[in-house]
Amino acid sequence: MDQRPGGGGVPRGRARAAVPAPGAPARLGPPGPGVPPAGRANGRRGPRARHGGVPVSQSRFTGGLLAALALAGAGALSGRSALFVAAVIPLAFVLYGALSVPRGDEAVRATREFDAESPLPGDRVTVELTVENASDRALSDVRVADGVPADLRVVEGSPDAALALPADGTATIEYTVVADRGRFRFDAPTVGVRGASATNARTVDPDVAGAVDLDFRVSVADVPLGRQTTAHAGTLPTDSGGPGIEFHSTREYQRGDPASRINWRRYAKTGELTTVNYRERRAAAVVLAVDAREASDATAREGTPSGSSLSAYAAARAVEPLETAGHSVGLAVFGVDDPVTVGSDPAWVPPGTGDAHHAHLATVLDAA
């Protein structure tokens, strides 16, 4: 994500009900969707410094002070009073800057909201950050930078803004993000307050409320499976009769059948011994296929996940419910080598179970 300018101009994001900060130069409008804004490298934002409310002075009028001293010195040496009078002008600017310092009692609240609670990977999510001036006086120059996670791409608008807030006034910053998959946690926004002359600034720790985590994921409650199963017990219903819960059929009693499966009602009526068969439930051997070839590493539009990324995500989401149901899970990834066994393309993990097998699956999926 891009470096947030300490004294930069008005960003591309929309700031509703806000007055442009004095002296803040306008910046160009937003680029097209998915194109990283100026100052960004691959859509990532660099770390932001926090000062914990400590005043940060900016010597914007150092030149004015030097000019005043130079004119006053020249007037003293030459004895010309006009130079002394001329020194008053830059000196006035220096005094104005020294007097317009933030008082230190500024209070700012920030509330963040998302327009989608559980977006799918590749969906665009609009983020609204409402900034409120909770102090009893107007803040003429407030610089806000929301704490966007580094792995989220901002594709429209900007999380930065320069605002002017009256007492108890609010303004809303709006921007759009997109991600491949995963859960992302937002940091608290960085808020800086400047004096009227913009020569002195103070960072303020805002009271933050609202949404913090944004989860791009697909919920997988059940994975449809075929009828081919293994000999091991599991949760997949089969067409075979045997021990179980759901009724399947009856047959003649065979020596060694358990007494719990004998149809005692029929025996009481007819005197014939019959055995009840139930529908057996067995485990399946499932192989997940992932296409990570270069040809699949393409996107529908800028800023959205590629086909190979979505394929790997779908496989990763299917592993947990399959393992929980007791099935043996395998993996075939086309386009990458196996980082565990150093096998050649495609990376192949035969169906299996257990913690070591799960770790092998996770390592190969990470490489996809």
Number of Cβ within 10 Å of residue 183's Cβ equals 11
Looking only at the bridges linking them, the beta strands covering 207-210 and 108-114 are: parallel
Whether residue 230 is contained in a domain is answered as no
- CA 117/CA 125 separation, integer angstroms: 9
Which of the listed residues 195, 216, 237 is the one where a domain comes to its end? 216
31 and 158, same domain (yes or no)? yes
Cβ(250)–Cβ(161) below 8 Å? no
Write out the chain's pLDDT in tens, 368 residues: 443 333 433 333 444 444 333 333 333 233 333 333 333 433 444 434 444 444 444 445 556 566 666 766 776 677 777 766 676 666 666 666 655 555 556 788 999 999 987 788 788 999 999 999 988 888 888 899 999 998 888 999 999 999 888 988 999 999 999 877 778 999 999 998 876 655 566 788 888 999 999 988 766 555 556 544 444 333 444 444 444 444 456 667 777 777 777 777 777 888 788 877 665 555 678 889 999 888 888 887 776 778 888 888 888 888 888 888 778 888 999 988 888 877 777 889 888 888 888 889 888 888 87
Amino acid in the structure at residue 347: A
Long-range (24+ apart) CB contacts under 8 A made by 62-69 are 63/90, 64/90, 64/91, 64/93, 64/94, 65/90, 65/91, 65/94, 68/94
Alpha carbon distances (Å) from 110 to 133, 191, 263, 300: 9, 10, 70, 35
- CA 98/CA 176 separation, integer angstroms: 39
Whether residue 147 is contained in a domain is answered as yes
333 and 321, same domain (yes or no)? yes
Whether residue 295 is contained in a domain is answered as yes
Domain extent at residue 356: 285-367
272 and 359, same domain (yes or no)? no
Q: What is the CATH number of the domain that holds 47?
A: 2.60.40.10
Whether residue 234 is contained in a domain is answered as no
Cβ(350)–Cβ(329) below 8 Å? no
Residue 293 CA, distance from chain mean position? 26
User: Considering its fold, how many domains does the chain have in total?
Assistant: 4
185 and 146, same domain (yes or no)? yes
Which of the listed residues 45, 72, 99 is the one where a domain comes to its end? 99
84 and 149, same domain (yes or no)? no
138 and 176, same domain (yes or no)? yes
- CA 315/CA 312 separation, integer angstroms: 5
- CA 258/CA 304 separation, integer angstroms: 59
Cβ(324)–Cβ(367) below 8 Å? no
281-324 residue pLDDT tens? 556 788 899 998 888 888 877 767 788 888 888 888 888 888 88
Residue 117, burial from CB neighbour count under 10 angstroms (0-12, 13-18, 19+)? exposed
43: CB partners within 8 A, 6+ apart? 1, 36, 153, 154
Whether residue 21 is contained in a domain is answered as yes
| Closest residue by Cα to residue 253 from 271, 227, 226, 240 | 271
211 and 263, same domain (yes or no)? no
